[in-house]
Amino acid sequence: MHTKLFLLTSLVVWIVLAFCGIGSAGAPFGSPETVAIREGGLYTAFGYWYHEDKYENGTEHVLRQNQLYSELGYGFMNGFEIYGRIGIADMKIRDAFSPSDNSTTTAGNEFNDNWQFSGTLGAKGFYPYNGFFGIGSFIQGTCCLSDYTDSIPGTLNGAPFTSTMKVKNPWDINFGIDLQTRLPSGTKLYIGPYIYYAQAKVSSSPNIPGINLSATDTTLKNKINVGGFAGVDFPIGKGFHLNLEGQYAERFSAGVAVTLVY
């Protein structure tokens, strides 16, 4: 039953991403063992995540996001869990408006837009070898639910212009395997590798020659597809847990979350 539910959740993740369009919005993975009680149950969480990654389309660009999110999850018996998040995130792309020749000048180089909504769906499973050690796996997808837009003034051969750049519904998909050890205090330490794919579809109007990302339609993709992550989850009293996690894939991402188990 849990295997079928895991496959169904995975399918839902793919369907949601397909309807999001093409475009990155990173997110934490959390501990492989559910924070819900052993008999199963609901939990909620609130967290902050800083995401940074390197993208390329002939030239390299660093994408950065700050994300605030709320999470609702359900942990089943035998170590299975499904969860969803809704959040808001900004977006910055370094050198997006950077001129590539002397005929073009711009008032700034960085793409910058403020808070837009994002959503995450995920499923994970955990197998305990004993009371202290276990292994888990997960699949997770995140999609921004609206477009990011920024405009920049400049000149081309002395003539003024204003270029508007749009990043449409960014998304990413992640799959990972993690090892966990549980300390006597209830603290969980976890670490593992993951693979992922992310891309961002960028369009500009008008198309200004000499600006790196100024094109009718161009696609940014993550430079590498493999990363690593590690984290710690520990109880802080009365049903609350604190989670700290870091990820690395070309660039470093990290965040913190507080979870309430019912």
Q: Domain-by-domain residue ranges, the chain?
A: 2-261
Per-residue pLDDT of the chain (262 residues), as tens digits, is: 445 545 544 554 454 444 454 334 578 999 999 888 666 789 999 999 999 998 877 778 899 999 999 999 999 877 899 999 999 999 999 888 888 778 888 888 899 999 899 899 999 999 999 889 999 999 999 888 888 999 989 888 888 988 888 888 788 999 999 999 999 888 999 999 999 998 888 888 777 777 767 666 778 888 889 999 999 999 998 889 999 999 998 899 999 999 999 8
Tell me what pLDDT residue 216 has: 62
Tell me what pLDDT residue 22 has: 36
Q: Which amino acid is at 125?
A: G
CA dihedral 45, 22, 251, 123 (to 10 degrees): 40
Tell me what pLDDT residue 37 has: 67
E strand or H helix that includes residue 13: helix 2-20
| Whole-number Å distance between alpha carbons of 136 and 131 | 14
The pair phi, psi for residue 252, each rounded to 5°, is: -100, 135
120 and 138 Cβ atoms separated by less than 8 Å: no
What pTM value is reported for the model?
0.86
127 and 2 Cβ atoms separated by less than 8 Å: no
214 and 207 Cβ atoms separated by less than 8 Å: yes
What fold is seen in the domain 2-261?
A: Porin (2.40.160)
Tell me what pLDDT residue 38 has: 64
Q: Which amino acid is at 96?
A: A
- Residue tagged 């292994």 (tokens): 135
Q: Is the peptide bond before 206 cis (omega within 30 degrees of 0)?
A: yes
